Structure 1
Amino acid sequence: MNTQTVSAFKRANTILNRATVQLSGPGIRLKVLYWGFMPEHYDNTPHRHSFFEACYVMEGQGIYMEDDREYELLAGTVFLSRPGKWHQIRSKNGMALCYAAFELIEEGSTPSYIQAYHHLAEKGVPVLQDAAASPTANLWSTIVSMFKETSSFPALAVHHTALTLLISLLPLHGGGQDTLSETTQVKNEGNPLFRQAKLFIDDNISENLTLQLVAQHLHISSRHLTRLFAQEMNQTFVHYIQERRVQLAAEMLLQEELEIKDIASRCGFESVHYFTRVFSRKLGVAPARFRRAQFTEGRSGSQHFPAPPSTPTST
Protein backbone atom coordinates (compact mmCIF):
# COMPACT_ATOMS: atom_id res chain seq x y z
CA MET A 1 0.00 0.00 0.00
CA ASN A 2 1.43 3.37 -0.97
CA THR A 3 2.18 6.16 1.48
CA GLN A 4 -0.73 8.32 0.31
CA THR A 5 -3.28 5.58 0.96
CA VAL A 6 -1.78 4.79 4.39
CA SER A 7 -2.12 8.47 5.25
CA ALA A 8 -5.74 8.44 4.02
CA PHE A 9 -6.45 5.43 6.25
CA LYS A 10 -5.16 7.33 9.28
CA ARG A 11 -7.19 10.46 8.47
CA ALA A 12 -10.35 8.40 7.84
CA ASN A 13 -9.92 6.63 11.18
CA THR A 14 -9.56 9.89 13.06
CA ILE A 15 -12.25 11.95 11.38
CA LEU A 16 -14.97 9.33 10.86
CA ASN A 17 -14.77 8.06 14.44
CA ARG A 18 -15.12 11.62 15.68
CA ALA A 19 -17.67 13.11 13.29
CA THR A 20 -19.66 10.28 11.67
CA VAL A 21 -21.13 8.28 14.53
CA GLN A 22 -24.81 8.76 13.69
CA LEU A 23 -26.10 8.59 10.15
CA SER A 24 -29.61 9.48 9.10
CA GLY A 25 -31.66 9.84 5.95
CA PRO A 26 -35.30 9.57 4.90
CA GLY A 27 -36.76 6.69 6.90
CA ILE A 28 -33.50 5.46 8.43
CA ARG A 29 -31.18 6.14 11.37
CA LEU A 30 -27.96 4.23 12.01
CA LYS A 31 -25.54 4.33 14.91
CA VAL A 32 -21.91 3.67 13.96
CA LEU A 33 -20.03 2.16 16.90
CA TYR A 34 -16.64 2.47 15.23
CA TRP A 35 -14.89 2.84 11.89
CA GLY A 36 -11.65 1.04 11.09
CA PHE A 37 -9.07 1.50 8.34
CA MET A 38 -6.06 -0.75 8.90
CA PRO A 39 -3.20 -0.98 6.39
CA GLU A 40 -2.10 -4.28 7.95
CA HIS A 41 -4.72 -6.38 9.73
CA TYR A 42 -3.48 -9.76 10.92
CA ASP A 43 -5.32 -12.07 13.36
CA ASN A 44 -7.96 -11.54 15.99
CA THR A 45 -9.47 -13.94 18.51
CA PRO A 46 -12.83 -15.71 17.98
CA HIS A 47 -15.57 -13.36 19.18
CA ARG A 48 -19.09 -12.15 18.44
CA HIS A 49 -20.98 -8.88 18.46
CA SER A 50 -24.46 -7.63 19.21
CA PHE A 51 -24.20 -5.48 16.05
CA PHE A 52 -23.18 -5.67 12.40
CA GLU A 53 -19.58 -5.29 11.27
CA ALA A 54 -19.12 -4.70 7.53
CA CYS A 55 -15.63 -5.28 6.09
CA TYR A 56 -13.83 -4.81 2.77
CA VAL A 57 -10.42 -6.20 1.79
CA MET A 58 -8.57 -3.64 -0.31
CA GLU A 59 -5.29 -5.56 -0.49
CA GLY A 60 -3.84 -8.85 0.75
CA GLN A 61 -5.44 -12.13 1.65
CA GLY A 62 -6.56 -14.09 4.67
CA ILE A 63 -9.27 -16.29 6.17
CA TYR A 64 -12.65 -15.47 7.70
CA MET A 65 -14.22 -18.01 10.08
CA GLU A 66 -17.90 -17.92 10.95
CA ASP A 67 -19.56 -20.66 13.02
CA ASP A 68 -16.78 -23.17 12.11
CA ARG A 69 -17.04 -22.43 8.39
CA GLU A 70 -13.98 -21.07 6.59
CA TYR A 71 -14.01 -18.47 3.81
CA GLU A 72 -11.04 -17.24 1.77
CA LEU A 73 -10.46 -13.50 1.80
CA LEU A 74 -8.87 -11.86 -1.24
CA ALA A 75 -8.52 -8.30 -2.50
CA GLY A 76 -12.02 -7.20 -3.51
CA THR A 77 -13.81 -9.41 -0.95
CA VAL A 78 -16.62 -7.95 1.15
CA PHE A 79 -17.77 -9.74 4.27
CA LEU A 80 -20.31 -9.10 6.99
CA SER A 81 -20.22 -10.24 10.62
CA ARG A 82 -23.81 -10.47 11.78
CA PRO A 83 -25.15 -10.07 15.34
CA GLY A 84 -24.61 -13.15 17.50
CA LYS A 85 -22.31 -14.96 15.05
CA TRP A 86 -18.97 -16.30 16.30
CA HIS A 87 -16.27 -15.19 13.88
CA GLN A 88 -12.55 -14.65 13.45
CA ILE A 89 -10.20 -13.01 10.92
CA ARG A 90 -6.79 -14.51 10.20
CA SER A 91 -4.02 -13.28 7.91
CA LYS A 92 -0.37 -14.34 7.83
CA ASN A 93 0.97 -11.35 5.92
CA GLY A 94 -1.65 -8.76 6.79
CA MET A 95 -4.55 -7.25 4.84
CA ALA A 96 -5.49 -3.67 4.06
CA LEU A 97 -8.93 -3.78 5.69
CA CYS A 98 -11.76 -1.27 5.93
CA TYR A 99 -14.61 -1.93 8.36
CA ALA A 100 -17.54 -0.32 10.14
CA ALA A 101 -19.52 -1.58 13.13
CA PHE A 102 -23.08 -0.31 13.25
CA GLU A 103 -26.65 -0.95 14.33
CA LEU A 104 -30.04 0.33 13.24
CA ILE A 105 -31.77 2.85 15.50
CA GLU A 106 -35.33 1.62 15.38
CA GLU A 107 -36.83 4.87 16.63
CA GLY A 108 -36.85 7.08 13.57
CA SER A 109 -36.51 4.23 11.06
CA THR A 110 -39.41 2.99 8.96
CA PRO A 111 -40.77 -0.56 9.29
CA SER A 112 -39.35 -1.45 5.88
CA TYR A 113 -35.79 -0.64 6.98
CA ILE A 114 -36.30 -2.34 10.34
CA GLN A 115 -37.42 -5.53 8.63
CA ALA A 116 -34.69 -5.27 6.00
CA TYR A 117 -31.95 -5.23 8.63
CA HIS A 118 -33.69 -8.04 10.53
CA HIS A 119 -33.55 -10.02 7.30
CA LEU A 120 -29.88 -9.15 6.88
CA ALA A 121 -29.09 -10.31 10.43
CA GLU A 122 -30.89 -13.61 10.00
CA LYS A 123 -30.32 -14.55 6.35
CA GLY A 124 -27.53 -12.34 5.03
CA VAL A 125 -24.76 -13.86 2.90
CA PRO A 126 -21.60 -13.50 5.02
CA VAL A 127 -18.86 -13.41 2.36
CA LEU A 128 -18.80 -12.26 -1.26
CA GLN A 129 -15.60 -12.59 -3.24
CA ASP A 130 -14.87 -10.78 -6.51
CA ALA A 131 -16.96 -7.85 -5.31
CA ALA A 132 -14.48 -5.12 -6.25
CA ALA A 133 -16.87 -3.78 -8.90
CA SER A 134 -19.88 -3.72 -6.55
CA PRO A 135 -21.37 -0.41 -5.38
CA THR A 136 -20.35 -1.28 -1.80
CA ALA A 137 -16.68 -1.74 -2.72
CA ASN A 138 -16.72 1.43 -4.79
CA LEU A 139 -18.19 3.33 -1.86
CA TRP A 140 -15.40 2.09 0.43
CA SER A 141 -12.86 3.26 -2.15
CA THR A 142 -14.66 6.59 -2.48
CA ILE A 143 -14.50 7.19 1.27
CA VAL A 144 -10.78 6.43 1.33
CA SER A 145 -10.20 8.71 -1.66
CA MET A 146 -11.96 11.57 0.16
CA PHE A 147 -9.21 11.51 2.77
CA LYS A 148 -6.39 11.49 0.23
CA GLU A 149 -7.11 15.14 -0.43
CA THR A 150 -4.96 17.64 1.42
CA SER A 151 -7.98 19.86 2.09
CA SER A 152 -11.03 18.72 4.04
CA PHE A 153 -13.80 17.12 2.03
CA PRO A 154 -17.33 18.53 2.64
CA ALA A 155 -18.76 16.91 5.78
CA LEU A 156 -22.20 16.45 4.19
CA ALA A 157 -20.69 14.46 1.32
CA VAL A 158 -18.83 12.19 3.75
CA HIS A 159 -22.02 11.69 5.78
CA HIS A 160 -24.15 10.72 2.80
CA THR A 161 -21.46 8.48 1.30
CA ALA A 162 -21.09 6.65 4.62
CA LEU A 163 -24.86 6.25 4.94
CA THR A 164 -25.17 4.99 1.37
CA LEU A 165 -22.36 2.51 2.02
CA LEU A 166 -24.18 0.92 4.97
CA ILE A 167 -27.52 0.86 3.13
CA SER A 168 -25.82 -0.77 0.13
CA LEU A 169 -25.18 -3.84 2.29
CA LEU A 170 -28.89 -4.72 2.08
CA PRO A 171 -28.97 -5.70 -1.62
CA LEU A 172 -25.34 -6.90 -1.64
CA HIS A 173 -25.59 -9.36 1.26
CA GLY A 174 -29.31 -10.03 0.90
CA GLY A 175 -28.77 -13.03 -1.38
CA GLY A 176 -29.97 -11.30 -4.53
CA GLN A 177 -33.36 -10.51 -2.98
CA ASP A 178 -35.03 -7.13 -2.75
CA THR A 179 -34.91 -7.10 1.03
CA LEU A 180 -36.67 -3.77 1.45
CA SER A 181 -39.67 -4.87 -0.64
CA GLU A 182 -39.70 -8.43 0.62
CA THR A 183 -39.54 -7.73 4.30
CA THR A 184 -42.22 -5.03 4.46
CA GLN A 185 -44.81 -7.81 4.66
CA VAL A 186 -42.99 -9.69 7.44
CA LYS A 187 -44.47 -9.42 10.90
CA ASN A 188 -42.48 -7.17 13.21
CA GLU A 189 -40.62 -9.40 15.66
CA GLY A 190 -40.00 -6.74 18.26
CA ASN A 191 -37.20 -4.44 19.21
CA PRO A 192 -33.88 -5.64 17.72
CA LEU A 193 -31.94 -4.52 20.81
CA PHE A 194 -34.20 -6.63 22.98
CA ARG A 195 -33.70 -9.61 20.68
CA GLN A 196 -29.94 -9.14 21.03
CA ALA A 197 -30.28 -8.94 24.81
CA LYS A 198 -32.16 -12.25 24.89
CA LEU A 199 -29.57 -13.84 22.61
CA PHE A 200 -26.74 -12.71 24.88
CA ILE A 201 -28.58 -13.94 27.98
CA ASP A 202 -29.25 -17.37 26.48
CA ASP A 203 -25.65 -17.76 25.32
CA ASN A 204 -24.26 -16.73 28.71
CA ILE A 205 -26.93 -18.09 31.06
CA SER A 206 -24.37 -19.90 33.24
CA GLU A 207 -22.52 -16.64 33.98
CA ASN A 208 -23.21 -13.96 36.58
CA LEU A 209 -25.53 -11.85 34.43
CA THR A 210 -26.17 -8.35 35.73
CA LEU A 211 -28.16 -5.51 34.27
CA GLN A 212 -24.96 -3.49 33.88
CA LEU A 213 -23.13 -6.33 32.09
CA VAL A 214 -25.87 -6.92 29.50
CA ALA A 215 -26.37 -3.18 28.94
CA GLN A 216 -22.63 -2.75 28.39
CA HIS A 217 -22.64 -5.58 25.83
CA LEU A 218 -25.41 -3.80 23.91
CA HIS A 219 -23.71 -0.40 24.25
CA ILE A 220 -26.75 1.12 25.92
CA SER A 221 -27.47 2.42 29.41
CA SER A 222 -28.86 0.28 32.22
CA ARG A 223 -31.91 2.53 32.28
CA HIS A 224 -32.54 1.91 28.57
CA LEU A 225 -32.28 -1.86 29.08
CA THR A 226 -34.68 -1.67 32.03
CA ARG A 227 -37.19 0.13 29.81
CA LEU A 228 -36.80 -2.54 27.10
CA PHE A 229 -37.74 -5.32 29.53
CA ALA A 230 -40.71 -3.32 30.78
CA GLN A 231 -41.93 -2.61 27.23
CA GLU A 232 -41.29 -6.03 25.69
CA MET A 233 -41.93 -8.37 28.63
CA ASN A 234 -43.85 -6.36 31.22
CA GLN A 235 -41.34 -7.53 33.83
CA THR A 236 -37.99 -6.62 35.34
CA PHE A 237 -34.60 -7.78 34.12
CA VAL A 238 -34.01 -9.86 37.29
CA HIS A 239 -37.43 -11.51 37.00
CA TYR A 240 -36.79 -12.44 33.37
CA ILE A 241 -33.35 -13.92 34.16
CA GLN A 242 -34.78 -16.06 36.95
CA GLU A 243 -37.64 -17.31 34.78
CA ARG A 244 -35.30 -18.08 31.88
CA ARG A 245 -32.99 -20.04 34.17
CA VAL A 246 -35.85 -22.00 35.68
CA GLN A 247 -37.23 -22.72 32.21
CA LEU A 248 -33.86 -24.03 31.03
CA ALA A 249 -33.41 -26.05 34.23
CA ALA A 250 -36.83 -27.67 33.79
CA GLU A 251 -35.91 -28.69 30.24
CA MET A 252 -32.59 -30.14 31.39
CA LEU A 253 -34.19 -32.04 34.26
CA LEU A 254 -36.50 -33.77 31.78
CA GLN A 255 -34.04 -34.26 28.94
CA GLU A 256 -30.61 -34.69 30.54
CA GLU A 257 -29.15 -37.18 33.01
CA LEU A 258 -26.97 -34.63 34.74
CA GLU A 259 -26.90 -34.32 38.49
CA ILE A 260 -29.03 -31.54 39.91
CA LYS A 261 -25.97 -29.64 41.15
CA ASP A 262 -24.55 -29.64 37.61
CA ILE A 263 -27.83 -28.39 36.17
CA ALA A 264 -27.89 -25.62 38.77
CA SER A 265 -24.39 -24.56 37.74
CA ARG A 266 -25.13 -24.66 34.01
CA CYS A 267 -28.22 -22.53 34.51
CA GLY A 268 -26.31 -19.87 36.44
CA PHE A 269 -27.44 -20.53 40.00
CA GLU A 270 -24.77 -19.79 42.59
CA SER A 271 -25.58 -22.88 44.66
CA VAL A 272 -27.82 -25.95 44.52
CA HIS A 273 -29.67 -24.68 47.60
CA TYR A 274 -30.49 -21.36 45.94
CA PHE A 275 -31.51 -23.21 42.76
CA THR A 276 -33.88 -25.45 44.71
CA ARG A 277 -35.45 -22.49 46.49
CA VAL A 278 -36.03 -20.48 43.29
CA PHE A 279 -37.21 -23.50 41.27
CA SER A 280 -39.65 -24.55 43.99
CA ARG A 281 -41.04 -21.05 44.32
CA LYS A 282 -41.54 -20.68 40.55
CA LEU A 283 -42.96 -24.13 39.74
CA GLY A 284 -44.34 -25.20 43.10
CA VAL A 285 -42.22 -28.36 43.35
CA ALA A 286 -38.59 -29.21 44.09
CA PRO A 287 -36.28 -30.10 41.16
CA ALA A 288 -35.80 -33.73 42.27
CA ARG A 289 -39.52 -34.35 42.54
CA PHE A 290 -40.10 -32.60 39.22
CA ARG A 291 -37.71 -35.05 37.57
CA ARG A 292 -39.11 -38.12 39.38
CA ALA A 293 -42.64 -37.29 38.25
CA GLN A 294 -41.52 -37.42 34.64
CA PHE A 295 -40.06 -40.92 34.87
CA THR A 296 -42.29 -42.61 37.44
CA GLU A 297 -45.58 -41.44 35.97
CA GLY A 298 -44.50 -41.52 32.32
CA ARG A 299 -45.98 -38.18 31.41
CA SER A 300 -44.51 -34.81 30.49
CA GLY A 301 -43.64 -32.62 33.41
CA SER A 302 -45.55 -29.82 31.75
CA GLN A 303 -48.75 -31.76 32.47
CA HIS A 304 -48.00 -31.84 36.20
CA PHE A 305 -46.56 -28.42 36.84
CA PRO A 306 -46.96 -24.94 35.42
CA ALA A 307 -45.27 -24.52 32.06
CA PRO A 308 -42.44 -21.99 31.88
CA PRO A 309 -43.86 -18.54 31.19
CA SER A 310 -44.34 -17.70 27.54
CA THR A 311 -43.13 -14.42 26.08
CA PRO A 312 -45.98 -11.91 26.23
CA THR A 313 -46.64 -9.61 23.34
CA SER A 314 -45.64 -5.99 23.56
CA THR A 315 -48.15 -3.48 24.79
Structure 2
Amino acid sequence: MVSPSSYAFRSDDHSILTLDSVGWQIIQSAEYSFAGEDRPDCGHVIFQYTLSGQGILEYEQQRFTLDQGTGFLVKVPSRHRYYYTDNGTPWEILWLNLRGEEANRIWDLVIGQEGPVIHRDADSPLILDLWKLLSMIAEENVIDKYQLSSTVYEWMLTLVKTSREINKDINENSISIILKAKRFMKEHYASPITLDMLSEHCGVNKHYLCRLFQKSEQSPPLSYLRDRRVEAAVTLLRTTDLPIQDVGKQCGFESPSYFGKVFREYMSMTPKEYRMKKFEFPYDAIYYHE
Protein backbone atom coordinates (compact mmCIF):
# COMPACT_ATOMS: atom_id res chain seq x y z
CA MET A 1 0.00 0.00 0.00
CA VAL A 2 1.50 3.33 -1.09
CA SER A 3 1.73 6.02 1.59
CA PRO A 4 2.83 9.67 1.33
CA SER A 5 6.44 9.50 0.21
CA SER A 6 8.84 10.88 -2.38
CA TYR A 7 11.70 9.48 -4.47
CA ALA A 8 14.54 11.20 -6.30
CA PHE A 9 16.81 9.87 -9.05
CA ARG A 10 20.12 11.22 -10.30
CA SER A 11 21.86 10.33 -13.56
CA ASP A 12 24.57 11.79 -15.79
CA ASP A 13 22.94 10.17 -18.81
CA HIS A 14 21.33 13.02 -20.79
CA SER A 15 20.62 10.89 -23.84
CA ILE A 16 17.25 9.66 -22.58
CA LEU A 17 14.17 11.01 -20.84
CA THR A 18 14.82 10.66 -17.11
CA LEU A 19 12.69 10.73 -14.00
CA ASP A 20 14.05 13.33 -11.61
CA SER A 21 11.60 12.84 -8.75
CA VAL A 22 8.07 11.69 -7.99
CA GLY A 23 5.97 11.81 -4.85
CA TRP A 24 2.79 12.06 -2.86
CA GLN A 25 2.82 14.75 -0.20
CA ILE A 26 0.51 16.39 2.33
CA ILE A 27 1.49 20.03 2.85
CA GLN A 28 0.52 21.88 6.01
CA SER A 29 3.12 24.64 6.27
CA ALA A 30 3.11 28.03 4.52
CA GLU A 31 6.87 27.58 4.14
CA TYR A 32 6.07 25.43 1.10
CA SER A 33 6.90 27.88 -1.70
CA PHE A 34 8.98 27.45 -4.85
CA ALA A 35 9.93 30.14 -7.37
CA GLY A 36 11.01 29.00 -10.81
CA GLU A 37 13.71 31.65 -11.20
CA ASP A 38 15.36 31.09 -7.82
CA ARG A 39 15.75 27.32 -7.70
CA PRO A 40 19.28 25.93 -7.77
CA ASP A 41 18.07 22.72 -9.49
CA CYS A 42 17.41 23.78 -13.10
CA GLY A 43 16.77 21.99 -16.35
CA HIS A 44 13.67 19.98 -15.51
CA VAL A 45 9.90 20.17 -15.92
CA ILE A 46 7.26 19.77 -13.20
CA PHE A 47 3.76 18.37 -13.11
CA GLN A 48 1.89 18.76 -9.83
CA TYR A 49 -1.68 17.65 -9.17
CA THR A 50 -4.05 18.60 -6.34
CA LEU A 51 -5.74 15.63 -4.68
CA SER A 52 -7.38 17.77 -1.99
CA GLY A 53 -7.03 21.17 -0.40
CA GLN A 54 -5.79 24.15 -2.32
CA GLY A 55 -2.60 25.84 -3.47
CA ILE A 56 -1.69 28.85 -5.59
CA LEU A 57 0.27 29.16 -8.83
CA GLU A 58 1.61 32.49 -10.07
CA TYR A 59 2.60 32.17 -13.71
CA GLU A 60 3.81 35.09 -15.85
CA GLN A 61 1.74 37.71 -13.98
CA GLN A 62 -1.31 35.45 -13.73
CA ARG A 63 -2.63 33.84 -10.57
CA PHE A 64 -4.33 30.43 -10.51
CA THR A 65 -6.12 28.72 -7.64
CA LEU A 66 -5.13 25.05 -7.58
CA ASP A 67 -8.24 23.26 -6.38
CA GLN A 68 -8.93 19.53 -6.29
CA GLY A 69 -8.70 18.07 -9.78
CA THR A 70 -6.30 20.66 -11.17
CA GLY A 71 -2.70 20.13 -12.15
CA PHE A 72 -0.06 22.54 -13.35
CA LEU A 73 2.88 22.26 -15.72
CA VAL A 74 5.95 24.48 -15.39
CA LYS A 75 9.55 24.46 -16.53
CA VAL A 76 12.57 25.29 -14.42
CA PRO A 77 13.76 27.93 -14.81
CA SER A 78 10.74 30.08 -15.76
CA ARG A 79 8.67 32.89 -14.29
CA HIS A 80 6.43 31.07 -11.85
CA ARG A 81 5.86 30.46 -8.17
CA TYR A 82 3.67 27.85 -6.52
CA TYR A 83 2.90 27.85 -2.84
CA TYR A 84 0.56 26.93 0.01
CA THR A 85 -1.26 29.45 2.18
CA ASP A 86 -2.21 28.00 5.55
CA ASN A 87 -6.00 28.07 5.43
CA GLY A 88 -6.54 25.27 7.91
CA THR A 89 -6.90 22.58 5.25
CA PRO A 90 -3.81 20.60 4.16
CA TRP A 91 -2.84 20.63 0.49
CA GLU A 92 -2.47 17.04 -0.74
CA ILE A 93 -0.54 16.65 -3.99
CA LEU A 94 1.03 14.23 -6.44
CA TRP A 95 4.02 15.43 -8.40
CA LEU A 96 6.41 14.35 -11.12
CA ASN A 97 9.66 16.01 -12.25
CA LEU A 98 11.31 15.01 -15.53
CA ARG A 99 14.45 15.86 -17.47
CA GLY A 100 15.11 15.65 -21.19
CA GLU A 101 14.44 17.47 -24.45
CA GLU A 102 11.29 15.45 -25.10
CA ALA A 103 9.83 16.46 -21.75
CA ASN A 104 10.44 20.13 -22.56
CA ARG A 105 8.80 19.69 -25.96
CA ILE A 106 5.72 17.99 -24.50
CA TRP A 107 5.36 20.67 -21.82
CA ASP A 108 5.46 23.40 -24.48
CA LEU A 109 2.85 21.52 -26.51
CA VAL A 110 0.37 21.01 -23.67
CA ILE A 111 0.82 24.49 -22.19
CA GLY A 112 0.19 25.87 -25.66
CA GLN A 113 -3.05 23.90 -25.89
CA GLU A 114 -4.44 24.18 -22.35
CA GLY A 115 -2.37 26.77 -20.53
CA PRO A 116 -0.20 26.04 -17.47
CA VAL A 117 -3.16 24.71 -15.44
CA ILE A 118 -5.04 21.63 -16.62
CA HIS A 119 -8.12 19.84 -15.31
CA ARG A 120 -8.24 16.05 -14.94
CA ASP A 121 -10.45 13.85 -12.78
CA ALA A 122 -8.79 11.78 -10.07
CA ASP A 123 -9.84 8.61 -11.92
CA SER A 124 -8.58 9.79 -15.30
CA PRO A 125 -5.90 7.71 -17.08
CA LEU A 126 -3.31 10.45 -16.52
CA ILE A 127 -3.66 10.41 -12.74
CA LEU A 128 -4.16 6.66 -12.42
CA ASP A 129 -0.95 6.10 -14.41
CA LEU A 130 0.89 8.45 -12.07
CA TRP A 131 -0.27 6.38 -9.11
CA LYS A 132 0.95 3.24 -10.93
CA LEU A 133 4.39 4.80 -11.39
CA LEU A 134 4.60 5.70 -7.72
CA SER A 135 3.49 2.19 -6.77
CA MET A 136 6.14 0.63 -9.07
CA ILE A 137 8.83 2.47 -7.18
CA ALA A 138 7.42 2.19 -3.65
CA GLU A 139 6.18 -1.40 -3.69
CA GLU A 140 8.06 -3.12 -6.50
CA ASN A 141 11.38 -1.32 -6.01
CA VAL A 142 11.67 -0.48 -9.70
CA ILE A 143 14.62 1.88 -10.01
CA ASP A 144 16.14 0.91 -13.37
CA LYS A 145 16.53 4.15 -15.34
CA TYR A 146 15.49 2.59 -18.65
CA GLN A 147 12.33 1.02 -17.26
CA LEU A 148 11.44 4.28 -15.50
CA SER A 149 12.15 6.24 -18.69
CA SER A 150 9.84 3.97 -20.67
CA THR A 151 7.08 4.32 -18.08
CA VAL A 152 7.24 8.11 -17.84
CA TYR A 153 7.33 8.36 -21.63
CA GLU A 154 4.08 6.39 -21.79
CA TRP A 155 2.69 8.75 -19.14
CA MET A 156 3.63 11.74 -21.31
CA LEU A 157 1.88 10.17 -24.29
CA THR A 158 -1.26 9.93 -22.15
CA LEU A 159 -0.84 13.60 -21.27
CA VAL A 160 -0.63 14.55 -24.96
CA LYS A 161 -3.51 12.27 -25.95
CA THR A 162 -5.89 13.59 -23.29
CA SER A 163 -4.88 17.17 -24.05
CA ARG A 164 -5.68 16.73 -27.73
CA GLU A 165 -8.99 15.07 -26.92
CA ILE A 166 -9.94 18.06 -24.79
CA ASN A 167 -9.09 20.38 -27.64
CA LYS A 168 -10.96 18.48 -30.35
CA ASP A 169 -14.17 19.71 -31.91
CA ILE A 170 -16.55 21.56 -29.61
CA ASN A 171 -18.53 18.98 -27.61
CA GLU A 172 -21.64 19.31 -25.47
CA ASN A 173 -19.68 20.24 -22.36
CA SER A 174 -17.78 22.91 -24.28
CA ILE A 175 -21.00 24.33 -25.70
CA SER A 176 -22.41 24.48 -22.17
CA ILE A 177 -19.35 26.42 -20.99
CA ILE A 178 -19.61 28.89 -23.88
CA LEU A 179 -23.34 29.44 -23.30
CA LYS A 180 -22.71 29.97 -19.59
CA ALA A 181 -20.05 32.57 -20.37
CA LYS A 182 -22.29 34.35 -22.87
CA ARG A 183 -25.21 34.44 -20.47
CA PHE A 184 -23.00 35.88 -17.73
CA MET A 185 -21.68 38.62 -20.03
CA LYS A 186 -25.15 39.50 -21.31
CA GLU A 187 -26.50 39.80 -17.79
CA HIS A 188 -23.52 41.64 -16.28
CA TYR A 189 -22.11 43.71 -19.16
CA ALA A 190 -22.40 46.86 -17.01
CA SER A 191 -20.00 45.40 -14.43
CA PRO A 192 -16.18 45.40 -14.71
CA ILE A 193 -15.85 41.81 -15.91
CA THR A 194 -12.36 40.31 -16.26
CA LEU A 195 -11.23 37.06 -17.83
CA ASP A 196 -10.41 35.76 -14.36
CA MET A 197 -13.96 36.47 -13.14
CA LEU A 198 -15.48 34.90 -16.24
CA SER A 199 -13.36 31.76 -16.12
CA GLU A 200 -14.05 31.34 -12.40
CA HIS A 201 -17.79 31.63 -13.07
CA CYS A 202 -17.51 28.94 -15.76
CA GLY A 203 -15.26 26.68 -13.70
CA VAL A 204 -12.39 26.52 -16.22
CA ASN A 205 -9.06 28.30 -16.59
CA LYS A 206 -9.02 31.38 -18.75
CA HIS A 207 -6.64 29.98 -21.36
CA TYR A 208 -9.02 27.10 -22.00
CA LEU A 209 -12.04 29.44 -22.06
CA CYS A 210 -10.33 31.70 -24.62
CA ARG A 211 -9.50 28.74 -26.84
CA LEU A 212 -13.08 27.46 -26.68
CA PHE A 213 -14.45 30.89 -27.53
CA GLN A 214 -11.98 31.40 -30.37
CA LYS A 215 -12.84 28.00 -31.83
CA SER A 216 -16.60 28.49 -31.51
CA GLU A 217 -17.03 32.23 -32.05
CA GLN A 218 -13.85 33.14 -33.96
CA SER A 219 -13.22 35.87 -31.39
CA PRO A 220 -12.09 36.09 -27.75
CA PRO A 221 -14.62 36.39 -24.89
CA LEU A 222 -13.89 40.05 -24.18
CA SER A 223 -14.67 40.92 -27.79
CA TYR A 224 -18.08 39.32 -27.31
CA LEU A 225 -18.51 41.39 -24.14
CA ARG A 226 -17.56 44.58 -25.98
CA ASP A 227 -20.15 43.83 -28.68
CA ARG A 228 -22.87 43.55 -26.04
CA ARG A 229 -21.76 46.81 -24.42
CA VAL A 230 -21.86 48.74 -27.69
CA GLU A 231 -25.29 47.29 -28.47
CA ALA A 232 -26.57 48.51 -25.10
CA ALA A 233 -24.99 51.93 -25.63
CA VAL A 234 -26.62 52.35 -29.05
CA THR A 235 -30.03 51.66 -27.53
CA LEU A 236 -29.51 54.08 -24.62
CA LEU A 237 -28.23 56.83 -26.91
CA ARG A 238 -31.31 56.55 -29.10
CA THR A 239 -34.03 55.93 -26.51
CA THR A 240 -32.91 58.03 -23.51
CA ASP A 241 -31.63 61.53 -22.75
CA LEU A 242 -28.91 60.29 -20.42
CA PRO A 243 -25.63 62.24 -20.63
CA ILE A 244 -23.19 60.43 -22.89
CA GLN A 245 -20.72 59.77 -20.09
CA ASP A 246 -23.52 58.13 -18.06
CA VAL A 247 -24.43 55.97 -21.05
CA GLY A 248 -20.88 54.73 -21.22
CA LYS A 249 -20.74 54.07 -17.49
CA GLN A 250 -24.03 52.14 -17.51
CA CYS A 251 -22.71 49.98 -20.34
CA GLY A 252 -19.50 48.97 -18.59
CA PHE A 253 -16.96 51.39 -20.09
CA GLU A 254 -14.55 52.54 -17.43
CA SER A 255 -14.01 56.04 -18.80
CA PRO A 256 -15.71 58.44 -21.24
CA SER A 257 -12.61 58.55 -23.44
CA TYR A 258 -12.49 54.76 -23.76
CA PHE A 259 -16.21 54.65 -24.47
CA GLY A 260 -15.76 57.21 -27.23
CA LYS A 261 -12.83 55.33 -28.72
CA VAL A 262 -14.61 51.97 -28.82
CA PHE A 263 -17.87 53.46 -30.11
CA ARG A 264 -16.03 55.20 -32.95
CA GLU A 265 -14.37 51.90 -33.91
CA TYR A 266 -17.80 50.27 -34.23
CA MET A 267 -19.89 53.10 -35.67
CA SER A 268 -17.28 55.32 -37.38
CA MET A 269 -18.61 58.31 -35.42
CA THR A 270 -18.69 59.55 -31.84
CA PRO A 271 -21.61 58.77 -29.49
CA LYS A 272 -22.72 62.42 -29.76
CA GLU A 273 -22.69 62.31 -33.56
CA TYR A 274 -24.70 59.10 -33.56
CA ARG A 275 -27.30 60.57 -31.22
CA MET A 276 -27.68 63.63 -33.47
CA LYS A 277 -28.03 61.61 -36.71
CA LYS A 278 -31.46 60.31 -35.79
CA PHE A 279 -32.94 60.41 -39.27
CA GLU A 280 -29.92 58.95 -41.06
CA PHE A 281 -29.80 56.10 -38.52
CA PRO A 282 -33.46 55.50 -37.54
CA TYR A 283 -32.96 52.18 -35.76
CA ASP A 284 -33.20 51.98 -31.99
CA ALA A 285 -30.93 48.98 -31.64
CA ILE A 286 -28.02 47.33 -33.41
CA TYR A 287 -26.95 43.71 -32.91
CA TYR A 288 -23.52 42.32 -33.69
CA HIS A 289 -23.77 38.72 -34.86
CA GLU A 290 -22.34 36.06 -32.57
Taking structure 2 as the reference length, what is the TM-score of the superposition? 0.42
TM-score, structure 1 normalization: 0.39
